[in-house]
DNA sequence: TACCTGTAGATTGTTGACACTGCGAGATTC
DNA sequence: GAATCTCGCAGTGTCAACAATCTACAGGTA
């Protein structure tokens, strides 16, 4: 019997709570929902055109990702990020991404850096366009590509939630990339160190880049 | 009116899904529920004496912690861990705990190592008792204390899920700590390096300890 | 006999309704 | 006038029933 020769892509029916969580996450990290405000289950359910069951499941996910905060019998609120949170997010990101660097380098030649080069090019393009939003998107895409290259599903998952929090910080504070050229350079330097296989240099540059990020955000918070 | 002078401990009403998740997690990591088996919502709901709503929320949490696996319209199954998973878990743990080491050392004298010393003593005591279960419990408690000492809530949270997975591995494979004395020593050496403030030594010893752990589990898997 | 098709049972996904909790506005008392 | 109490409302927590989906098995056909 011929079962193939057609090569259809298998249908992947996304679950309703998954779709809702995705849309909610977008709204949260883009700042469409202001920090600290309460999310009414009934209102959201009506907006999404579903009942409260699936909506609650979506909220559960975002709760565990740390984007929301729950008070029993009171409701669910958008988490507000303090200075300490910002520092902690970047500490955790450093931990994950440093480990990813080590893993990529330890693979040596078998590592696939093409996605990283692509991400770096996209960042340069975004910087040239001048749009702040697309610059920070490309920035975080680079970091995501870095951890992807490590091939560790758990590192990828943990970083995903950290990147969502990072996006929340950036949009909430409307942090300006005062010097776009520097940011692009920092990423390119990391990639170059990676390509030449010099782990220590790459780690150092990543660390510096992270520290820059924290300082930029914390300066924005003070205003 | 006098509101104080009584000093009662405030009542912390745990949420129902939270309590269910806790019990389920215990059953999963202790191996009471065999890997790969399906978890029937109706059956579990009856067992816990609640309806399927709260139970589904509890499952959601464990799903996101990576202890369960969901197939849409099919059901939820206990995740079975492959060799690759074991390696990945330990890679991720190394990433988190190495970062924690760095943070503890960078604090210098202000770091609170008393909990770590306590955990180390407990481990030695457990080793003397000879019970395998309490040895691995004390082992993981030490690592938890290490990350706690870092003071980073996000590292703590990420490690918590990794430790749950580690426990699942250990009980599923009934991994034997063939040489208990060595395990105790490895932990003590890490603590000593930490106390003397020599970061590089501590990192090296942690790395070795982790590698030992992976090898022990992967050898058990082959059987 | 081998294969396909249709149906039955079981399980998950979703819904609307009910119960309980916490907050705030208004009434009441000193 | 200020503090306290009570009631109502808005919201979450929980439940039982309904709808949709999948698997397995029985029946029919070439």
Q: What is the DSSP string of A90-133?
A: HHHHHHHHHHHHHHHHHHGGGS--HHHHHHHHHHHHHHHHT-HH
Digit-coded pLDDT (tens) for B173-197:
886 767 888 999 999 999 999 999 8
Pick out the nucleotide with least CA–C1' distance to A13.
D21
Average pLDDT (A136-154) is: 96
pLDDT band at A193 (very low <50, low <70, confident <90, very high): very high
- Number of separate domains in chain B: 2
Sheet holding A75-78, edge to edge: A38-39, A75-78, A68-71
* CB proximity A1–strand C (7 Å threshold): yes
* First-last CA distance in chain A: 70
Residue A23 placed within a domain: yes
Q: Residue B7: its pLDDT value, please?
A: 60
pLDDT surpassing 90 at residue A222: no
**What are the tokens at B99?**
């970062």
Statement to judge: residues B198 and B162 lie in one domain: yes
Q: Residue A162: its pLDDT value, please?
A: 97
* CB proximity A181–strand D (7 Å threshold): no
Statement to judge: residues A207 and A106 lie in one domain: yes
Residue A8 placed within a domain: no
CA B52, CA B199: separation in Å to the nearest integer? 50
Q: Residue B220: its pLDDT value, please?
A: 83
Q: Cα B114 vs. chain centroid, distance in angstroms?
A: 20
For residue B29, give the CATH number of its domain.
1.10.10.10
Statement to judge: residues B74 and B96 lie in one domain: no
Statement to judge: residues B66 and B152 lie in one domain: no
CA B181, CA B124: separation in Å to the nearest integer? 8
pLDDT band at A108 (very low <50, low <70, confident <90, very high): confident
pLDDT band at A11 (very low <50, low <70, confident <90, very high): confident
* Number of inter-chain CB pairs under 8 A, A vs B: 66
Strand C nucleotides where any atom sits below 7 Å of a protein CB:
4, 11-17, 20-23
Statement to judge: residues A34 and A126 lie in one domain: no
CA B59, CA B38: separation in Å to the nearest integer? 12
Contact state of B96 with A98 under an 8 Å Cβ cutoff? no
Identity of the residue in B66, B92, B154 whose CB atom sits nearest the CB atom of A89: B154
Statement to judge: residues A70 and A24 lie in one domain: yes
Pick out the nucleotide with least CA–C1' distance to A72.
D12
**Residue B103: left if φ>0, alpha if ψ -120 to 50, beta else—which one?**
alpha
Contact state of B154 with A64 under an 8 Å Cβ cutoff? no
CA A122, CA A139: separation in Å to the nearest integer? 9
Helix (H), strand (E) at residue A78 = strand A75-78
Residue A126 placed within a domain: yes
**What are the tokens at A40?**
């009414």
CA B223, CA B203: separation in Å to the nearest integer? 31
Contact state of A57 with B57 under an 8 Å Cβ cutoff? yes
Average pLDDT (A81-99) is: 96
A-chain residues within 8 Å CB-CB of B155? Answer: 91-92, 95
Residue A37 placed within a domain: yes
* First-last CA distance in chain B: 69
Residue A90 placed within a domain: yes
Check if the beta carbon of residue A197 is closer than 8 Å to that of residue A105: yes
Identity of the residue in B60, B94, B153 whose CB atom sits nearest the CB atom of A60: B60
Residue of chain A with shortest Cα separation from B52: A53
Q: Residue B1: its pLDDT value, please?
A: 44
Q: Which of B185, B192, B193 is nearest to B209 (CA)?
A: B185
Q: Residue A4: its pLDDT value, please?
A: 45
Average pLDDT (A115-137) is: 92
* CB proximity B54–strand D (7 Å threshold): yes
Residue B142 placed within a domain: yes
Statement to judge: residues A73 and A97 lie in one domain: no
Digit-coded pLDDT (tens) for B129-171:
988 889 999 999 999 999 999 999 999 999 999 999 999 999 9
Show the CA angle centred on residue B41, arms to residues B38 and B45, nearest 5°.
130
> Bigger pLDDT: A135 or B178?
A135
CA torsion, ordered A70, A76, A82, A86, to nearest 10 deg = 80
CA of A188 to C1' of C5 (A): 61
* CB proximity B55–strand C (7 Å threshold): no
CA A5, CA B96: separation in Å to the nearest integer? 46
pLDDT surpassing 60 at residue B45: yes
**If you average pLDDT over every residue of chain A, what do you get?**
91
> Bigger pLDDT: A3 or A135?
A135
How many C-beta neighbours within 10 Å does residue B17 have?
A: 20
- Please enumerate residues of B whose Cβ is less than 8 A from a Cβ of A: 13, 15, 53, 56-57, 60-61, 64, 66, 72, 88-89, 91-92, 94-96, 98-99, 103, 152-155, 157-158, 162
| Domain end (from B60, B78, B96) | B78
Residue-range definition of the domain harbouring residue B192: 83-222
Residue B154 placed within a domain: yes
Burial class (CB in 10 A: 0-12, 13-18, 19+), B60: buried
Q: Residue A144: its pLDDT value, please?
A: 98
B-chain residues within 8 Å CB-CB of A88? Answer: 152-154
pLDDT surpassing 70 at residue A223: no
| Domain end (from A51, A78, A105) | A78
Statement to judge: residues B88 and B182 lie in one domain: yes
Q: Residue B148: its pLDDT value, please?
A: 96
| Domain end (from B32, B63, B78) | B78
Residue of chain B with shortest Cα separation from A15: B72
B-chain residues within 8 Å CB-CB of A94? Answer: 99
pLDDT band at A28 (very low <50, low <70, confident <90, very high): very high
Contact state of A72 with B13 under an 8 Å Cβ cutoff? yes
Statement to judge: residues A33 and A116 lie in one domain: no
Identity of the residue in A66, A95, A157 whose CB atom sits nearest the CB atom of B95: A95
* CB proximity A54–strand C (7 Å threshold): yes
pLDDT band at A2 (very low <50, low <70, confident <90, very high): very low
Query: Distances in Å between the alpha carbon of A49 and those of A44, A46, A53?
Result: 8, 5, 12
Q: Residue B218: its pLDDT value, please?
A: 86
Check if the beta carbon of residue A165 is closer than 8 Å to that of residue A118: no
CA of B1 to C1' of C28 (A): 20
Residue A5 placed within a domain: no
Minimal CA separation from B48 to chain A, in Å: 20
DSSP state of B212: H
Contact state of B152 with A91 under an 8 Å Cβ cutoff? yes
Q: Residue B6: its pLDDT value, please?
A: 55
* CB proximity B76–strand C (7 Å threshold): yes
Q: Residue B65: its pLDDT value, please?
A: 94
Statement to judge: residues A55 and A138 lie in one domain: no
Q: Residue B9: its pLDDT value, please?
A: 67
Minimal CA separation from B157 to chain A, in Å: 10
**Residue A197: left if φ>0, alpha if ψ -120 to 50, beta else—which one?**
left
Strand D nucleotides where any atom sits below 7 Å of a protein CB:
4, 11-17, 21-23
Q: Residue A3: its pLDDT value, please?
A: 44
Statement to judge: residues B199 and B154 lie in one domain: yes
Statement to judge: residues A215 and A114 lie in one domain: yes
Give every CB contact of residue B184 below 8 A, 6+ residues apart in sequence.
B123, B124, B127
For residue A116, give the CATH number of its domain.
1.20.120.530
Query: Distances in Å between the alpha carbon of B171 and those of B81, B119, B182, B220, B221?
Result: 12, 21, 20, 11, 12
Digit-coded pLDDT (tens) for B78-119:
999 999 999 999 999 999 999 999 999 998 766 688 999 999
């Amino acid at each position: 019997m011929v079962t193939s020769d057609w090569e259809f892509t298998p249908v992947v029916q996304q679950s309703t709570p998954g779709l809702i969580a995705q849309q909610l996450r977008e709204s949260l990290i883009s700042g469409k929902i202001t920090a600290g405000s309460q999310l009414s289950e009934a209102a959201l359910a009506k907006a999404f055109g579903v009942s409260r069951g699936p909506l609650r499941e979506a909220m559960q996910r975002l709760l565990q990702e740390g984007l929301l905060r729950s008070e029993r019998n009171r409701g669910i609120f958008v988490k507000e990020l303090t200075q300490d949170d910002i520092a902690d997010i970047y500490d955790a990101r450093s931990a994950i991404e440093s480990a990813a660097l080590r893993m990529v380098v330890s693979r040596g030649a078998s590592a696939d850096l093409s996605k990283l080069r692509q991400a770096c090019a996209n960042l340069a393009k975004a910087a040239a366009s001048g749009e702040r939003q697309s610059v920070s998107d490309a920035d975080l895409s680079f970091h995501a590509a870095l951890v992807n290259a490590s091939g560790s599903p758990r590192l990828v998952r943990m970083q995903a939630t950290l990147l969502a929090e990072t996006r929340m910080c950036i949009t909430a504070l409307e942090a300006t990339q005062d010097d776009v050229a520097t940011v692009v350079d920092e990423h390119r330097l990391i990639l170059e160190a990676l390509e030449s296989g010099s782990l220590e240099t790459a780690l150092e540059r990543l660390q510096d880049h992270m520290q820059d990020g924290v300082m930029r955000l914390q300066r924005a918070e003070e205003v």
